[in-house]
Amino acid sequence: MTVHGFAFPQGRIEVICGPMFSGKSEELIRRVRRAIIARQRVQVLKPTIDTRYSNSQVVSHSDVRLNASCVATVRDIYTAVHPRTEVVGIDEAQFFDEELVAVCNGLANRGMRVIVAGLDMDYRGVPFAPMPKLLGVAEIVTKIQAVCMECGAPASFSQRIGGTTDTVELGSSERYEARCRRHFEPEEERQMELLRARAEVLRVPNIARD
């Protein structure tokens, strides 16, 4: 069937985002399982970098599992996806670069339903790699919350506990916990950045006088 030049009318991008432990992988798996029940041809991919639990499965923190293939780079998604695939699931999308946006658009334009799950912010509370742009081009966006480990409120931030200041540092509950805005404490590096920005604002009148 051709609708407005596209082979299938159902091509679209769905994004599932939120902090760690919010249930992104569970939700991705739930949607993919329903597509399998509907006898659609499904492929699930994740970046090679995410080897926390398994390199042949998407695994949630609650141990829900689904078979998946690992791809090293965004370009490998094109080669990995079979032309007859109807639904493509991609987990841990924040580990891919911004080219992911063009690749997802390309797959959706071919008529595929592309379901992408990923962290919308890194441990500093800064939008993560391709996610903001992906949210911009998606037809359907689902932003979910975890439970704040300090107070039990809905949590949208991923708090890193100790460790380095690398943006990418794999880990689970021993390295990160979900926090609400009130209890999220960006690390020293980010706090220094904010202090510098404030000092800069305060310095402006002096600069004008000099």
Q: Where are the beta strands (DSSP E) in the chain?
A: 12-18, 42-47, 57-59, 65-67, 69-71, 87-90, 113-119, 140-143, 146-147, 154-155, 157-160, 176-179
CB of 129 to ligand ADP, least distance (A): 16
For ligand ADP, give the closer residue by CB, 6 or 64: 64
CB of 141 to ligand ADP, least distance (A): 15
Residue in the structure block whose two tokens are 């708090």: 159
Interacting residues toward Mg ion by CB under 5 A: 24-25
Q: Which of 35, 70, 141, 149 binds ligand ADP (CB under 6 A)?
A: 149
For ligand ADP, give the closer residue by CB, 105 or 149: 149
Three-class secondary structure of residue 113 per DSSP: strand
Q: Which of 13, 14, 23, 135 binds ligand ADP (CB under 6 A)?
A: 23
Give the catalytic positions in this structure.
92
For ligand ADP, give the closer residue by CB, 23 or 125: 23
For Mg ion, give the closer residue by CB, 170 or 194: 170
31 binds, among ligand ADP, Mg ion, none (CB under 5 to 8 A by kind): none
Nearest to 104 by CA among 45, 57, 38: 45
* H or E element at residue 37: helix 24-37
Contacts of 92 (CB under 8 A, 6+ apart): 46, 47, 49, 50, 117, 118, 119
Q: Which of 1, 4, 62, 188 binds ligand ADP (CB under 6 A)?
A: 62
